[in-house]
Amino acid sequence: MRLPDGRDIGPEPEAEAQHDAMLAYRRTYRASVGTRRRAYDDLADQINAICTLTMAKRRAGRLDAGSAAYFETLVAVSELPEVTSRQFTLTEAHAVLSDITARCQNRYGDAS
pLDDT digits (tens, 9 = 90+) for 52-95: 999 899 999 999 988 898 899 999 999 999 999 999 999 899 88
Is 24 inside any structural domain?
A: yes
Is 112 inside any structural domain?
A: no
Q: How many domains, the chain?
A: 1
Is 86 inside any structural domain?
A: yes
Is 87 inside any structural domain?
A: yes
CB 55 within 8 A of CB 65: no
* Separation CA 81–CA 89 (nearest Å): 11
Question: What's the alpha-carbon Rg for the chain, to the nearest Å?
Answer: 16
- Higher-confidence position of 15 and 84: 84
2 pLDDT higher than 90? no
Domain residue limits at 66: 13-102
Is 111 inside any structural domain?
A: no
Is 72 inside any structural domain?
A: yes
- In sequence order, what DSSP letters do the residues of 4-58 get, joined into one string? TTS-B-SS-HHHHHHHHHHHHHHHHHHH--HHHHHHHHHHHHHHHHHHHHHHHHH
pLDDT digits (tens, 9 = 90+) for 46-61: 999 999 999 899 999 9
Is 108 inside any structural domain?
A: no
Is 107 inside any structural domain?
A: no
CB 91 within 8 A of CB 97: no
Q: What pTM, to 2 d.p., does this model score?
A: 0.73
